[in-house]
A = this chain, B = another copy of it.
Amino acid sequence: MKIQNSKNKNSIIIGPAVAVDTLIFTIRDGKLMVLLIEIGSGPYKDKWALPGGIVQLNETLDEAAKNVLKKKAGIKDIYMEQLYTFSDLKRDVRGRMISVAYFALVNSDEFNLKTMDYYSDIEWINVRKLPKMAFDHKEIINYGLDRLKSKIEYSNIVYGLLPETFTLTEMQNVYEIILGEKIDKRNFRKKILALGLLTETKKVKTGAKHRPAKLYKFKKRELVFTK
C-alpha cells in the first residue's frame, strides 16, 4: 500500500474521491417513496439525485451518511445501513468518484414535510415512477429496493417505516406496498404475532367509521433477524 506522508493523519492521496449517497425510503399515501433532490445546475441540471456528500478525512462512512441525512433532509435517529459501493469509471462525468450508498427508512409521521419545505428542490418521489435520474442513482435505487424487499421478509426492519404504535392492518399495508402483492389477512396476523416481536398496547385507533383497531408496538426498535 502506497501512502504519501504516512506520519501525517491528513495525508494527501491521489486516487478516486469518495462520496456517500443516501437512499431514504418512506411510505406516503399508500406508496413507497424515496427522497430526491433536483439538481439546479451543471451537467446534471434538471435531473434528480439522492442526497449525498463528499466523505471528509475525519469522518467514517456511517458518520458521513448521518451528516447527509441531517443536513440535507433534517432527519436523524432512523434505521440506516450500508448498501453497496458503486464505482463505475463514468458514473460521474465531472470526475472519478466512488459512492458508498446507504439505505435508510423513515416513518413519515415523525418526519413531516415542514422540516424540509425549506428546500424547494427536495421531494418524496414514488419509487415506481422515477423522474430522469443523475449519475447511476437509478441503479442504486433498484439495488436498495431489492434489499428492502428481501430484508422485510427475514427481519423486523419494517419498524423503520412504521410509527411508534400502529395497527396490524397498517403493518400489513406496508408489506403489501413493498412486495407489490396482496397478503392473506389471517395468515399475516398469525405469522407476525407468532414472531413475538410486538406487544399489544391498551389503546385502539378510533375515529374511522368502522370497528376500532388495536394498536401494537415493537418490543425493541432495533434490527432482529426472524429466519
* Assembled-state Cα–Cα distance A55/B100 (Å): 15
Those of A9-29 within 8 Å (CB) of chain B: 9-19
Which applies to chain A's interface (DSSP): helix, strand, loop or mixed? loop
A2 CB contacts on chain B under 8 angstroms: 54
Shortest CB-to-CB span from A34 to chain B, Å, is: 19
A9 CB contacts on chain B under 8 angstroms: 95-96
- How many residues belonging to A are interface residues under a CB distance threshold of 8 Å? 41
Greatest chain B CB density within 10 A among A1, A59, A98, A100 is at A1
Cβ–Cβ contact A85 & B82, under 8 A: yes
* Assembled-state Cα–Cα distance A8/B95 (Å): 7
Count of this chain's copies in the oligomeric assembly: 2
Cβ–Cβ contact A62 & B87, under 8 A: yes
Interface residue? A120 (CB, 8 A): no
* Assembled-state Cα–Cα distance A96/B8 (Å): 9
Cβ–Cβ contact B98 & A61, under 8 A: yes
Interface residue? A56 (CB, 8 A): yes
Known: A82-B84, A87-B61. Is A98-B1 also a contact (CB below 8 A)? no
A58 CB contacts on chain B under 8 angstroms: 89
Cβ–Cβ contact B3 & A94, under 8 A: yes
* Assembled-state Cα–Cα distance A19/B59 (Å): 17
Shortest CB-to-CB span from A22 to chain B, Å, is: 13
Known: A62-B87, A95-B6, A100-B85. Is A57-B16 also a contact (CB below 8 A)? yes
Q: Which of B16, B82, B94 contacts A55 (CB 8 A)?
A: B16
Interface pairs (11), CB distance under 8 Å: A1-B54, A1-B97, A2-B54, A3-B94, A3-B95, A13-B14, A13-B15, A13-B16, A59-B89, A60-B89, A82-B85
Give the top 5 A-B pairs by smallest Cβ distance, nearest first: A13-B17, A11-B95, A61-B87, A6-B94, A60-B87
